[in-house]
Amino acid sequence: MNIPLVDLKAQYESIKDEIDEAIARVISNSAFCSGQEVEKFEEAFARYCGVGYAIATDTGTSALYLALRSCGIGAGDEVVTVSHTFVATVEAIVQTGATPVFVDIDKTTYTMDISKLEKALSPKTKAILPVHLYGQPADMNIICFYGEQYRIPIIEDCCQAHGATYKFPSDTVIEKKVGSIGELGCFSFYPSKNLGAYGHGGMITTNNKRKAQWLKSVRNHGQEKRYYHSMVGYNSQMDDMQAAILNVKLKYLDSWNQKRREIARKYNKLLGNSVRGTPVEAPYSGHVYHLYVLRTSSQAYLKGILPTYNIGVGIHYPVPVHLQKGYEFLGYKVHQLPVTEAVCETIISLPMYPELTDEQIGYVVQRILER
Ligand SMILES: *Cc1c(COP(=O)(O)O)cnc(C)c1O
């Protein structure tokens, strides 16, 4: 048996005809950068997330960077986020000229520890950027509360959480999709994400019309109309081929996420009695399991042994951003992030994709329990 961490080929096989047709259509129209397919996908994705506007970009990193810039964030400002994330979250903040300020993570959900959030806020804070890591929303109710109290926007990093939901505790429980909760939501369509392109792609979601208009212009050379540029912008557009593919895949996203949830439940059940550290779903969260991450004291052992049985594993992520060489200038010694630093050494990601079979799940679990 050969069980990769992610199997993009299995998914392609399941929707091959539709994908091939979409790609052929773009090629035969030779409308590679016309924006027609992009516009269709923007409308569909905005509707899916329950927001007024969706602005497609070339990558998730661009989405984060431009979302920050749309809030006027730059040199001298602080943006509060987490260090336990893919580097792009922090990279985007640094690229604006602002300083990232890190909050430690919760040791069971691996998302921003809201009990430590207020201490990180200062008069220089211009935004809070929570990450819905592994497919689990951060605790948005509390984060939005501080956003309102300090009058600062919330920018959601949804790059690992397409379709995840957050339940607000209130009389009638309100459930919202990530990307529709803060001022702006940022998505990546990197191939291995829950909704993945066949190349790079990204999206910003918002209900703010003024910001949406600014973003549409800035991602296209600051263009007002063709060859008329009212500001200095970027070339951060999505191309039509990716949009056409994503349009096909979007309608399957909920069923794929449902499969991921079922697979997580099966892993939990089979591992449950012998392995502590299976993922914890917070009561507010509609987790979509971008990754299935075990917490274990046998990280090194499992990382070494599972690949010898042709089982793909990963560590997301082995080094937190504040300890990365390129980010030394942030002064890692000043950060008090004990949970972030401890988690890196005890996590391991197991194979997770919607097409994973019961037999494959059983095989992975058997190899883990064999020790
Ligand atoms: C994938 C990812 C990004 C960046 O997305 P790209 O499309 O690769 O630029 C940002 N943040 C997180 C948490 C991610 O997982």
Residue-wise pLDDT tens digits, 289-305: 999 999 999 999 999 99
Distance CA 280, CA 209 (A): 37
Instruction: Say if CB 315 and CB 299 are below 8 A apart.
Output: yes
Q: What are the φ and ψ backbone dihedral angles of 159, each rounded to 5 degrees? A: -60, -20
Indicate if the pLDDT at residue 335 is higher than 90.
Answer: no
Q: Is the pLDDT score of 348 beyond 90?
A: yes
pLDDT digits (tens, 9 = 90+) for 248-288: 999 999 999 999 999 999 999 999 877 789 999 999 999 99
**Beta strands 223-225; 174-177: pairing state:** unpaired
pLDDT beyond 90 at 77: yes
Q: How far is the CA of 172 from the centre of ligand 1 (A)?
A: 34
Please name the residues in contact with 58: beta carbons below 8 A apart, sequence gap of 6 or more.
200, 201, 202, 235, 236, 237, 238, 239
Q: State the closest ligand 1 atom to the C-alpha of 61, by its place in the atom list counted from 1.
A: 9
Alpha helices in the chain (DSSP H): 8-14, 16-29, 36-49, 60-70, 88-96, 117-120, 140-150, 209-218, 240-250, 253-272, 299-305, 338-344, 358-369
Answer yes or no: is pLDDT of 2 > 80: yes
Distance (Å) from CA 69 to ligand 1 centroid: 17
Looking at residues 93-117, what average pLDDT do you find?
A: 97
* pLDDT tens, residue by residue, 303-320: 999 999 999 999 999 999
The single residue listed with the structure tokens 């096989």 is: 13
Q: Which residues are near ligand 1 (CB < 6 Å)?
A: 59-61, 85-86, 88-89, 131, 157, 159-160, 188, 190, 200, 202
CA of 269 to the centre of ligand 1 (A): 30
Residue 344 has a pLDDT of 95
Neighbours of 282 (CB within 10 A): 17
Collapsed DSSP state (helix, strand, coil) of residue 271: helix
* pLDDT at 334 exceeding the cut of 90: no
**What pLDDT is attached to residue 28?**
95
Ligand 1, residue 200: give the atom nearest the CA: 7
